Chains A and B, each alone.
Chain A
Amino acid sequence: MDPLLTVSGLTMDFGGIRALDHVHLHLVQGEIFALIGPNGAGKTTLFNCLTGVYTPSGGDVLLKPPGQIPQRLNGLKPNRITEKGVARTFQNIRLFPNMSTLENVMIGRHCRSRAQVFGAIFRTPATVCEEKAIVGTSLALLERVGLAEHAHVLAKNLPYGAQRRLEIARALATEPLLLLLDEPAAGMNPRETVELEELISSINGDGLTILLIEHDMRLVMRLSDHIFVMDYGRKIAEGTPEQIRHNPEVIKAYLGEGTDHA
């Protein structure tokens, strides 16, 4: 089991409030990890720290791409982290609303392409070739998430479930090693959730490691290999879905103190 991402002692303070308190996570290559916990537990803050939106107050985030030495991610700008291979989606969808579905995915290819001002103005053969490759790859990704026929629709005109899938396609376009999904099933109907589950499994089948925040417990239990539970900025438990289901700490965090003790 190769480790891919190691988070050690990650701490995030907002003024006097400690949103993350020495969080340790260990993600191995090729598995699906879930991050669960009550609202306000610090899940999205953790995501923001991992992707560079926030600079953590303390601790380390180390990414070890297969066959390379580990690299420190904390303190890097979000775009550098994406380049290193950590892509994400957002809890409240953040597509580029007035760009077409295809263009949204093409933006994801930005960090894997190189054309500069000179190439753009003179349309050098290298640029033309690169543009073709970008369009090709992006269309293939749209095909993959089932949005190929909507390629030229503006992103804001897509139905909700499709927007969620487009966010995943856009993140995949950056060729990530680790994909962070922030509540991918939020607001989806049961059928869309099933489709999403298949999509996530198939992405994982290609060897991509996935870390997802999700409130739909059935989805989490079916999909994930390993679950982290957070509450009040701390990791309170981790284990396989079966272990988590029966963990008294987790039950307490979700349901409060049991009434039979009273």
Chain B
Amino acid sequence: MLTGTDLRRALLIGLWFMFLTFPLLAIKVNPIEQTVTWRWANMLWVGGATTVIALACRFLQARQAARQERIRLGLEPPPATWNFALLREPRFALPLLGATAVFLLAFPALFSSYQVNIMITALMYVVLGLGLNIVVGVAGLLDLGYVAFYAVGAYAYGLLHLHFDWGFWTVLPIGGLLGALFGLLLGFPVLRLRGDYLAIVTLGFGEIIRLILENWSEFSQGPSGIANIARPGFFGFELSMEESLVYLYYLMIGMALFTVFVVNRLQNSRIGRAWFALREDEIACQAMGIDKTRTKLTAFALGATWAGMAGVFFAAKTTFINPASFTFLESAIILCIVVLGGMGSIVGVIAGALLLILLPEYLRAVAEYRMLVFGAILVVMMILRPQGLVAPMRQTYTPPR
């Protein structure tokens, strides 16, 4: 099944990887003793392993192709296809939903507070992902500065608490509103931009907000940040660290559910359809009577609202914020969540957020290599499923009776 060409190609791939990883894995410089260790054994391992993996991939590919051919010729029955639509049927969907709900509710009782902490972060990214999904996934406007709105929300709580001693519940809606306002603020100048140009301007916007927070010390206390932000209150009761974490966890679950509910309704409405149409074809969209300006601005504003609220949660969770939490890397991770999960798919974005946030945490077991593994998983995903984990499902309409 495997020809000489395959073997040669696999060897080439092995050599290529040896070349690529040479500076990192072969050379070890010790700057104190000023010696260089050459670790040739590592090279051999890398070369050998990649060659074997390449051969295995090729072998599997060939076998797959051969089977397809046999199916085409009618020598073999086609395999039963695993259908995701099956999961939507009530008899599967209901127990699955029930089990998930029970698991999520019992989570703080079952796991340590460390795990609960990670889960809260993951849920925050679910909200962020769903918000960005409106802008990028649904309306097709590539926004690389989304973290700016997250920062706006976090600093809204931080500053209002610092100066006026406002509580979490008062600031939560304000954070959302401020997010929307900044969404509009970003939206106006970029109305005429598309694609790469839009991405660059939004990237700049994100950096501007971060730099302002870093340098305008009188306003934001600069890089030293704002400390001692209050955790959410629970009807005036005093909560211990542990309890307030669990409380925050449940609040976050509520917040995520609320986001899913609202985003889902928005997507399946007249406005949601207009967003989809805008993504598909801007000119046709206008010719059909859709106000491009308005549609874009609502997408920016409604997307940013969620980041604003998630920011308030972030400030309440960490009780300390500084500009270092709102770098471009954050925007990139949120964008990864949307793209990896499946643009425009709510279930996909949730899955993407959980995967991207939980995976690096649990990969700590393989410590040094976790980022490598993380990158590899992203690359493999993009090759195997470029449409994302879960392809978006459009609502179907039934004729009214």
Contact = CB atoms under 8 A, between A and B. Distances in A.
A130 B270 CA distance: 10
Interface string B369-401: 000000000000000000000000010111110
Contact of B266 (A95, A111, A117, A136): A117
Contacts of B283: 53, 78, 90, 94
Interface in A92-114: 94-100, 102-103, 106-108, 110-113
Contact of A121 (B266, B280, B288, B400): B266
Contacts of A102: 397
B265 A121 contact: yes
A115 B93 CA distance: 31
A88 interface: yes
B274 interface: yes
A55 B262 CA distance: 39
B399 A139 contact: yes
Nearest to A115: B270
A223 interface: no
B272 A120 contact: yes
Contact of B276 (A51, A99, A112): A99
Nearest to A108: B288
A136 B284 contact: no
Contacts of B274: 107, 110
A97 to B, nearest CB: 6
B270 A120 contact: yes
Contacts of B291: 77, 79
Given A99-B277, A131-B270, A117 B302 contact: yes
A127 B284 contact: no
A116 to B, nearest CB: 7
A83 interface: yes
A42 to B, nearest CB: 19
Interface string A125-162: 00100111111100100000000000010000000000
A108 B302 CA distance: 23
B306 to A, nearest CB: 13
B32 interface: no
Contact of B271 (A95, A111, A116, A173): A116
Contacts of B298: 117
Nearest to B271: A120
Nearest to A82: B289
A11 interface: no
Nearest to B291: A79
Given A96-B277, A102-B397, A110-B289, A90 B284 contact: yes
A51 B287 contact: yes
Nearest to B262: A121
Contacts of A82: 286-289
A65 to B, nearest CB: 16
A136 B288 contact: no
A174 interface: yes
B297 to A, nearest CB: 12
B67 interface: no
A87 B298 CA distance: 25
Chain A interface size range: 35 or more
A170 interface: yes
Given A77-B286, A103-B394, A96 B281 contact: yes
A245 interface: no
A26 interface: no
B290 interface: yes
Interface in A34-63: 51-53
Nearest to A111: B289
B269 interface: yes
Nearest to A120: B269
A96 B397 contact: no
B285 interface: yes
A111 B280 contact: no
A133 B398 CA distance: 12
B58 interface: no
B161 interface: no
A87 B288 CA distance: 7
A2 B195 CA distance: 46
B300 to A, nearest CB: 13
A174 B394 contact: no
B389 to A, nearest CB: 18
Contacts of A131: 269-270
A119 B290 CA distance: 18
Contacts of B281: 94-97
Contacts of B289: 79, 82-83, 108, 110-112, 174
Interface string B259-275: 00010011001111110
Nearest to B265: A121
Contacts of B292: 77, 79
A111 B197 CA distance: 29
26 contacts: A79-B288, A79-B289, A79-B291, A82-B289, A83-B289, A87-B287, A94-B281, A96-B284, A97-B280, A99-B277, A99-B394, A100-B394, A102-B397, A106-B397, A108-B289, A110-B273, A117-B298, A119-B269, A120-B269, A120-B271, A123-B265, A131-B269, A135-B397, A152-B396, A173-B288, A174-B288
Closest 6 CB pairs of A and B: A111-B289, A120-B269, A82-B289, A96-B280, A94-B284, A132-B400
Interface of B: 262, 265-266, 269-274, 276-277, 280-281, 283-292, 298, 302, 394, 396-400
Given A115-B270, A132-B400, 15 more contacts: A78-B283, A78-B287, A79-B287, A94-B284, A95-B281, A98-B280, A106-B273, A108-B288, A110-B270, A115-B269, A120-B271, A121-B262, A121-B265, A121-B266, A170-B288
